[in-house]
């Protein structure tokens, strides 16, 4: 069996995305092309969260332990999928083409947006992250997690 590299593109979110989190100071977007006409935004997000490697789960557990003393929100369920959540994140809005998840906390507010556009064999799935920091703790936290974020999101997209 030959393994084929999956190309992940990285780019800045378009200006319209910022309306999903007014005041966001950070935003990035990663995109992958898939050959699946039946794939919608919810199923793409489910694949991202259900198929994530164990090292990502281990990092999230470590993150939860480390932020506990600061009173930051910790996901109440790991990979659970419900009508109102994707993995640990509450769903804010959803259409077949776009799922918006995330939450607001005292240190920062964030959104992850999963978009699905086009038709196979060039159907594109993108994962956009928007973050609005609310205080110094939020800015420090964002600085610390950013190197991990830039590895984790493309890895999760490859799992689609």
pLDDT of residue 121: 83
Residues of the chain with pLDDT under 70: 1-5, 71-82
pLDDT of residue 1: 40
DSSP secondary structure of 58-76 = HHHHHHHHHHGGGT----S
pLDDT of residue 50: 82
- Report the first-to-last Cα separation within the chain, whole angstroms: 19
Q: Is 80:39 a contact under the CB 8 Å cutoff? A: no
Residues contacting 126, CB < 8 A, separation 6+ = 29, 30, 31, 32, 113, 114, 115, 117
pLDDT of residue 5: 58
pTM: 0.85
Pick the CATH number of 8-158 from 2.40.128, 3.30.300, 1.10.10, 3.30.530: 3.30.530
pLDDT of residue 12: 86
pLDDT of residue 134: 96
pLDDT of residue 79: 52
- The CA distance from 2 to 56, in Å, is 25
Domain boundaries, the chain: 8-158
Q: Is 89:75 a contact under the CB 8 Å cutoff? A: yes
pLDDT of residue 3: 44
């Amino acid at each position: 069996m030959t393994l084929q590299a999956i190309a992940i593109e990285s780019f800045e979110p378009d200006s319209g995305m910022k309306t999903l989190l007014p005041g966001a100071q950070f935003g990035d977007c990663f995109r992958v092309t898939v050959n699946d006409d039946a794939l919608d935004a919810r199923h793409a997000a489910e694949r991202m969260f259900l198929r994530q490697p164990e090292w990502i789960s281990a990092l999230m557990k470590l993150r939860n332990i480390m932020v506990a003393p600061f009173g930051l929100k910790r996901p109440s369920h790991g990979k659970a999928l419900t009508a109102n959540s994707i993995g640990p994140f509450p769903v804010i809005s959803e259409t077949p083409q776009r799922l918006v998840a995330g939450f607001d906390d005292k240190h920062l507010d964030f959104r992850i947006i999963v978009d699905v556009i086009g038709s196979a064999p060039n159907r594109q799935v993108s994962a956009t992250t928007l973050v609005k920091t609310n205080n110094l703790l939020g800015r420090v936290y964002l600085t610390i997690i950013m190197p991990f974020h830039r590895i984790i999101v493309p890895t999760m997209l490859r799992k689609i």
